[in-house]
A = this chain, B = another copy of it.
Amino acid sequence: MKDPSGRLTSLTDVARRAGVSVATASRVLSASTYPVAEKTRRRVLKAADALDFAPNLIARGLVAQRTYLVGMLVSDLVDEHAAALARGVEEAAAENGFAVLVMSTDGDPEKEIDAVRRLRSMRVDAVIFSYSTVADRDQQDRLTAQLRHVEAAGGALVRLAPHPRVGPDASISTRQGFALAVEHLVGLGHRRIALLQGPANAGLSQVGVYAMRRVLEGHRLSLADRFIIPTDGTLAGGRSAAPALLKGRAPATAVVAMSDTLAIGVLKGLADAGARVPRDISVVGFDDVPAAAYTTPGLTTVHVPLRELGSAGMQVAIWLLGGGARRGRNNLPVELVVRESTDKAPKARPGPRG
């Protein structure tokens, strides 16, 4: 509501209507623990209610040096992985009176730096990262500089994936996820297992290759270079990676993708090429996004509690803002969901067209 002068109802209006000072009104309407007589409190509440007063969080933020705003950086909101994480953050944020500013970086370090700068200007209480983009030295330094500023302002930084020289605050074990996938595949008789890798500039990609290699070694298997297929991490990238899987004298009999997005793409690419899944080649995804249960065949994948991960990240932020100490990595459990995209390894060398 506007009063005649064009201003919105403010605490002053509430105070006047209740016949108390702004200080008193503030004490009852803010989270203050300061004592106020029950009778007075009720009068203020009644006035606020009558006016449908909504405190100006901008003004409150200015004095309290706390905005109840958090920034969430994702590479692309349209990717279900990012969306689920963001949703989790948003959920926990809403429950605790925070609002979330979502920014997409498109995997571009410059956009990421700029986003953090804007968040800093906004004086967000925390910034939550999923994967960060691996950048050159100079960009890295500039990003770090921005991050130091948000920390200097008392802001919390939380990472949901490994970052350059910094471990995640809440995450999952990629290694364990791959272990589950590989164990399943090896049990099915697969020995030539390929890896669909995400974009080279995404932090996860390198970590993933390393983890996969170790897991395969645990089964006395190795990860041949030709079985590491680089992609840009998109559906299209997964799709166009299919031919590489099928070529050669001894092609892969199974592939594990670093994300469901990639897996869904490769499923389509494999179908394009006339290869049958899982008869000719088995496919395992990673994340278990909702769509994974709706592909044909249904995608066997490593379930990652993305939404919970997002919520956990927001909880860590709150903990940190409350003066809590960083507690190191908090891993949420992953599990394998077996659907129809995996089966026994083909006996002989399968021709891609059966």
Q: Interface of A with B (CB < 8 Å)?
A: 1-2, 8, 52, 54-59, 61-62, 67, 69, 76-78, 80, 83-84, 86-87, 90-91, 94, 99-104, 117-123, 145, 148-149, 152-153, 235, 239, 264-265, 267-268, 271, 290-291, 293-296, 298
Contacts and interface: CB of A to CB of B under 8 A. Distances in A.
A112 to B, nearest CB: 12
Nearest to A93: B103
Given A94-B103, A104-B87, A271 B296 contact: yes
Contact of A78 (B76, B104, B290): B290
Contacts of A56: 62, 121, 123
User: Chain A interface secondary structure, helix, strand, loop or mixed?
Assistant: helix
Nearest to A117: B54
A87 B80 contact: no
Contact of A264 (B55, B58, B294): B294
A149 B1 contact: yes
5 contacts: A1-B149, A55-B121, A58-B58, A76-B87, A99-B103
Given A2-B153, A235-B294, A267-B296, 13 more contacts: A57-B121, A77-B77, A77-B87, A80-B83, A94-B103, A99-B101, A99-B122, A100-B102, A235-B290, A268-B294, A294-B295, A295-B296, A296-B296
Q: Find the residue from A78, A104, A119, A293 having the highest chain B CB count within 10 A.
A: A78
Q: When A and B form their complex, which 7 residue pairs have the shortest distance between CB atoms, in order from nearest?
A: A54-B121, A296-B296, A268-B294, A2-B152, A57-B121, A77-B87, A78-B83
A291 B102 CA distance: 22
Contacts of A239: 294
A54 B121 CA distance: 5
Contact of A84 (B78, B235, B294, B295): B78
Contact of A61 (B58, B87, B293, B298): B58
A77 B67 contact: no
A152 B296 contact: no
A235 B153 CA distance: 43
A121 to B, nearest CB: 4
Contacts of A83: 77-78, 80, 83
Contacts of A235: 290-291, 293-294
